[in-house]
Structure 1
């Protein structure tokens, strides 16, 4: 059967699989959110008995010794979608937890929305859930356990598709909550308590799905374990808090392994242990967002943490053949979905003679009309390369260019680091 996704980036690493081993019937992905691979490797080497279930999986695993970069940017929503589709974010379209759609003039936030976010992914890429349905038929059961990307999964609570019995879940939650570390409540860390509880509920969903008599056992499970991410942010990625979070997550993985053993499916299952991104030590109290600095230096932009969309205007400049007049039409730099660039009225235009890279004599000043047009006279003896036009359009970064169309942009390096030159000429 066709076991490849309809579209995928990179190459299949067939060498990771043991060609002599039986073909697994199902796949179970454990994703330890935000866990840096060096933290896990260090714990397994220095103190393996504290993580018995992860240790058991690693002993028979193919391991990427230096880890891997899931996606760029390596961050939750884009990375989960990459794992779930086998494509980079430039192809699956979820490029950041929040991102700006230029043609629609709006910022959207899958991570902020949390639920019903599968529609943000490009429909032209195939999800792993959809691939199972294509190859094994619509009867194939797949599950996204709190995974941010669940398009095509029959069970995906974040997409409001819940196959579980709520009464059964309540009973299981009481039993499985014994795996929760009491330190989160002792530390009065409400976020960690909530994430620990969420992970408990995820395991309860798995128990119900695999024990149901009225459903087939899942062929594919993508199981998000969130606790390691929140604890990494709050306590640090290599902290005692992370040690506790890893041990708690290992207990949950052990629950799943025992469940599959009970169901006679452990030996028929291919397990994958991965993360969506790593984490560096940080001082979260700084609340740093360097991307927003572009606004403080006078540029118009849409900013979502780690990404910047500069907002520019599109200029059409024409000078009469006799050199005595010129006209400029100002449009928005981003085309609409129709392909049209709307004109910008009330854009302020100033025209100067350029003298040794600085504005000199003022030649004209005004604003564009409702058609985005500004017309002005020009001294015929001054060449276009020596007439500087500055455009300040509403909602766009200022533009500086000579009348021959050569851009004289503000030097970002100079703006961000004032010791640099402020103007830089570009062809």
Structure 2
């Protein structure tokens, strides 16, 4: 009995070994090429540290910035945090310079900069910026609890949208239609909750609407192999046009009948909701806010701790290899994209069931694209996307507070911060971001 070994066909990509080992074919000569040193991250940190030292430190205000931690309804009261703006800016910027210097040192040794360096630097930069803004304002006191709680609230639709993007891109489909999914969910939740006088039915209808938008994306991009980005852009325009038309012709004609949805009020967990700072963030949320935390945990566990998640990631990284292992690639992609759309639809319902009490034209306001940026900034990880969305929500909330407290910083500057962070993330200046290898590439069997 003889066996015949098959050699790899030239020009045809071969699946990578599942155990990460060397291929079966023997090579007499192996050339190992060292990865080139990337200086973008340490240089970016160094530039930002110098900017912080000059503006937040040397040119910082000489007043005292006060941050309230407790509110009147808290279980116990904590004193306000008072920070001398000038001294605080100097100290924090010096620490940032040290972190940037450490990153430069590691790169000179061809060593990777640890993630904690970048995370600590971002946290210090945000703190220094906040001290600088509040210390230079007419009203040098803000509620830190209110600032953070408001940031989390504004980030809710961004988190749901970014989770939708994670589920889609991890399986190999680029989801540009997050904006349309959020908008469709907001519209459907408003009209169904109004007709049924039941916000829970509106929430369910929003999930179905988002799933339907995603099914169209999946149908054209997977079955008919249409360019995924073009389909996503067309869906955004289509949903915007349809909801805008129905809003003008139906909802405005009889607002009480079609556009007065029941409200999902915040649910306070007894005792826990009265803990200073933490309570308003974790234990004083609407139903959709609690679902946000649950969705982040469930998606992360599902993707990285289950057999389903392993198959999903295999399809997104190497669909040919997944196919040879018996995984139905296109079916997996279709249902994952549908699930992502349902999650985004729930995020869209936040606008009409929690934030305000009615639907308005273009209510999502481009947040689908910010969610896409959070997905990239979070490196296609549910936890990373969650914190990136919180950062964008923080910038959005701070924009409103800046106007109220009378700081000299223009509100327009705050409005552009999420987009500036997006550019830095996409450019890889805050660390290398690599999408799934097969993201955006259709799979045709055979």
TM-score (norm 1): 0.22
Q: Which has the larger radius of gyration?
A: 1
Q: TM-score scaled by structure 2?
A: 0.21
Specify which structure has the bigger relative contact order, considering alpha-carbon pairs within 8 angstroms and separated by 6 or more residues: 2
**Structure with the higher fraction of residues in strand conformation:** 1
